[in-house]
């Protein structure tokens, strides 16, 4: 008869997210995870199979939460430029307001684990695709409402926004201050919404 699991999986994953986010995959030991989660090594292996298995589960949990937060912020009916600026400055503030400058676990995983970890690569790719879809929807609405030209390439524009987001995350983690990062946000938006476009 199988033993009943004696821990809450969501709580364990949240604690694992915190460890991996602070230390990265390579620098996190199984002992770190045992201490953070409060459950034994054997129970961790039984539940998740390996350190890789726990990392994947933690990364997926983080990704669902992060992409949902971004989608919710982009669901506003305000003008697209305002919606995007709100999102980007919120991301900047989250990064520079974190005393540990952890950045984003999705971005951190992309720089630490890819391309050699195909499982993590799928999680990262899925998360970035979901975010890109949310950004594209905002830009498509902007085009329909005349905020962008009728022939605007919203897919390429969404790629520019997504690339900017990743750059902001890395620059912020590396110590750039809020003023510099917000200047990048405003410059990118001025390019996207230029009155001279076309």
CATH number at residue 184: 1.10.357.10
Asked whether the predicted pLDDT for residue 139 surpasses 60, the reply is: yes
Distance of CA 134 to the CA centre of its chain: 13
SS3 content of the chain, % helix, strand, coil (to 5): 70, 0, 30
For residue 105, tell me if it sits in a domain: yes
- Rounded to a whole number, what is the distance in angstroms from the first to the last CA of the chain? 69
Number of domains forming the structure of the chain: 1
What letter does residue 78 receive in the DSSP assignment? Answer: S
pLDDT computed for residue 116 by the predictor: 94
Of 2, 122, 130, 29, nearest in space to 74 by CA: 130
In sequence order, what are the residues at sequence separation of 6 or more whose Cβ sits closer than 8 angstroms to the Cβ of residue 158? 132, 135, 136, 139
pLDDT computed for residue 194 by the predictor: 84
Quote the domain boundaries for residue 84: 58-192
pLDDT in tens, 74-108: 999 999 999 999 999 999 999 999 999 999 999 99
For residue 177, tell me if it sits in a domain: yes
% of residues, the chain, pLDDT over 70: 95
For residue 13, tell me if it sits in a domain: no
CA–CA distance, 96 with 101 (Å, rounded to integer): 6
CA–CA distance, 188 with 64 (Å, rounded to integer): 27
pLDDT in tens, 141-178: 999 999 999 999 999 999 999 999 999 999 999 999 99
For residue 27, tell me if it sits in a domain: no
For residue 156, tell me if it sits in a domain: yes
For residue 198, tell me if it sits in a domain: no
């Amino acid at each position: 008869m199988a033993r009943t699991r004696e821990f809450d999986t969501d709580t364990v994953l949240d604690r694992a997210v915190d460890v991996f986010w602070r230390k990265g995959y390579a620098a996190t030991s199984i002992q770190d995870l045992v201490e953070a989660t409060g459950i034994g090594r054997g129970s961790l292996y039984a539940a998740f199979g390996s350190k890789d298995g726990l990392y994947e589960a933690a990364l997926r949990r983080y990704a669902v939460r992060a992409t949902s937060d971004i989608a919710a912020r982009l669901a506003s009916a305000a003008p697209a430029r305002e919606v995007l600026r709100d999102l980007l400055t919120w991301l900047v503030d989250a990064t520079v307001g974190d005393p540990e400058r952890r950045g984003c676990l999705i971005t951190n995983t992309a720089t630490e684990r890819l391309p050699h970890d195909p499982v993590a690569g799928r999680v990262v790719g899925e998360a970035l695709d979901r975010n890109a879809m949310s950004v594209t929807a905002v830009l498509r609405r902007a085009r329909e409402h005349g905020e962008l030209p009728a022939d605007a390439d919203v897919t390429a524009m969404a790629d520019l926004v997504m690339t900017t987001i990743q750059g902001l995350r890395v620059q912020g983690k590396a110590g750039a201050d809020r003023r510099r990062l917000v200047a990048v946000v405003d410059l990118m938006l001025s390019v996207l919404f230029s009155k001279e476009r076309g």
